[in-house]
Amino acid sequence: MIVLFTFLAGIGAGSLGALLGLGGGIFLVPILNIALDVPLPQAMAVSLITVIATSNFVSLASAGQKSANVRLAILLQLVSAIGAIGGTYMLDYMSLRTRERVFGATALVVAVVILSRLNQRNVLQGHVDDVGFLGGWFQDHDTGELVAYRLKRVPVAVGVAAGAGVISTLAGVGGGVLVVPALNSWCGVPMRVAAATSAVIIGVTAIPGVVDNFARGHLTSPMLAAGGVLGVLVGSRAGFWIGAKVKVRSLKILLAVVLAVVASQYLWFK
Amino acid sequence: MTNRPESTGLKRVLQVALMATSATLAMGLALSLFVSGPAAPVAEALLWLGLGMLVTIPVLNVIDVVIIECRLKEWPFAAAGVAVLVLLAYTVAIKVWR
């Protein structure tokens, strides 16, 4: 029965994850831990596996391939992988409660930042040939046109990606929860590109955490993991379909609300 | 421009691999839930195989990027991809094999 519930939770987490480029782990961990009474380390291990499933699905789907900025992704994967590996060593010295509080506070700050910049589209007007270092073009669903964007504040993107790597391992989530809002709000990357690029990044970011969990014996139930993964793959398809029909502003509001809920979970309800 | 149309053909292979991963996990899960006796170890092996395949796909995705960047002679990006692969290999070596 718990496998069936994990499958259903995976569908919900996968659809929200694909929609927001988050990986879905932030939804799955509380569901598994609080609702299904799965021990937290095991819930985080299953969550990280499902993050990889979401990443695979989104980054291999044609819409994801068109929107993702692959070069930006590969550079941020490098620093986020370093952060994730660092996180596996920090796990030996940090209490679980401290990790939950750090993550909750971070999610809350990012939610406020997004809500304060709701109308920022980050696209360049008119015909643009030079998009600068790591900029790009993408098909804007809102207007149907090919629009350009420039990457700003590269050090911020790098720093946030490294932090996302650490958080990914410590909290058992994808790290997109930090990367997507940072790329969109501070680095000039349109929301849809940020979400698709983040989806590419989080798959690699989650691998050190998964390997570490496996080595620590937290990944003990392949059935639970498989149930979560299959649910996430079904949910990702639904989330991607919904994502093509949702306006960017709505996507931002949804992301902020989700982040606030996640923050309250980590700060007060655990 | 960073959203490039170049492809090694590996993307198509990875899409098939993702479908194969789903099928392997579904088969393993079905066997685990509905079959007992001698089939149980097979079911568990299928589940671990599926999970292993799932974790391998992002790695192959990075290899795809490295190949494309090498073809384009964009060495900094190719080097970044190789560095990611080295880091992941380091993690496996340290955490699992030690």
Q: Does residue B1 sit within a domain?
A: no
Chain centre distance of CA A43 = 17
CB contact under 8 A, A56 and B54: yes
Q: Buried b / exposed e across A43-81, counting CB within 10 Å, b at 16+?
A: bbbbbbbbbbbbbbbbbbbebbbebbbbbbbbbbbbbbb
Inter-residue contact B3 to A136 (CB < 8 Å): yes
Pick from B2, B28, B95: CB nearest A134: B2
CB contact under 8 A, B2 and A71: yes
Contacts of A71 in chain B (CB under 8 A): 2, 69, 74, 77
Alpha-carbon Rg for chain A in angstroms: 17
Chain B residue with CA closest to A214: the answer is B96
- Confidence at residue A144, expressed as pLDDT on a 0 to 100 scale: 67
Chain B: closest CA distance from residue A18 (Å): 16
pLDDT bucket at B1, cuts 50 / 70 / 90: very low
Of A107, A81, A73, nearest in space to A162 by CA: A81
Pick from A60, A137, A222: CB nearest B11: A60
B13-49 tens-digit pLDDT:
888 999 999 999 999 999 988 877 777 888 889 999 9
Q: Does residue B2 sit within a domain?
A: no
pTM (two decimals): 0.86
Size of interface A-B (CB pairs under 8 A): 136
**For residues A166, A172, A178 and A179, what is the CA-based torsion angle, rounded to 10 degrees?**
80
Q: Does residue B5 sit within a domain?
A: no
What is the sign, positive or negative, of the torsion defined by CA atoms of A47, A51, A53, A57? positive
CB contact under 8 A, A225 and B22: no
Beta-carbon contacts of A25 under 8 Å, excluding residues fewer than 6 positions away, are A13, A17, A44, A47, A48, A50, A51, A171, A172, A173, A174, A206
Inter-residue contact A43 to B45 (CB < 8 Å): no
Task: Name the DSSP class of A32.
Answer: I
pLDDT in tens, chain A (270 residues): 788 889 998 998 888 777 666 667 777 887 888 788 888 889 889 999 999 998 888 888 766 667 788 899 999 999 999 999 999 999 888 887 877 777 677 778 777 876 776 665 555 555 556 666 677 777 666 666 677 788 888 899 999 999 999 988 988 888 887 888 888 888 888 878 888 898 899 999 999 999 999 998 888 889 999 999 999 989 888 877 777 777 657 777 877 887 788 788 778 876
Q: Does residue B26 sit within a domain?
A: yes
Cα gap A155→A177, rounded to integer Å: 18
Beta-carbon contacts of A136 under 8 Å, excluding residues fewer than 6 positions away, are A69, A72, A148, A149, A193, B1, B2, B3
- Confidence at residue B6, expressed as pLDDT on a 0 to 100 scale: 58
- Confidence at residue A162, expressed as pLDDT on a 0 to 100 scale: 95
Q: Does residue B93 sit within a domain?
A: yes
- Confidence at residue B56, expressed as pLDDT on a 0 to 100 scale: 95
CA distances in angstroms from A92 to A29, A45, A85, A228, listed in the order given:
20, 16, 12, 27
Residue B56 sits in which domain range?
Answer: 10-97
**For residues A9, A44, A242 and B28, what is the CA-based torsion angle, rounded to 10 degrees?**
-60
CB contact under 8 A, B32 and A223: yes
| Total domains present in chain B | 1
Q: What are phi and psi of A171, to 5 degrees?
A: -105, -5
Cα gap A42→A80, rounded to integer Å: 22
Q: Does residue B24 sit within a domain?
A: yes
Q: Does residue B45 sit within a domain?
A: yes
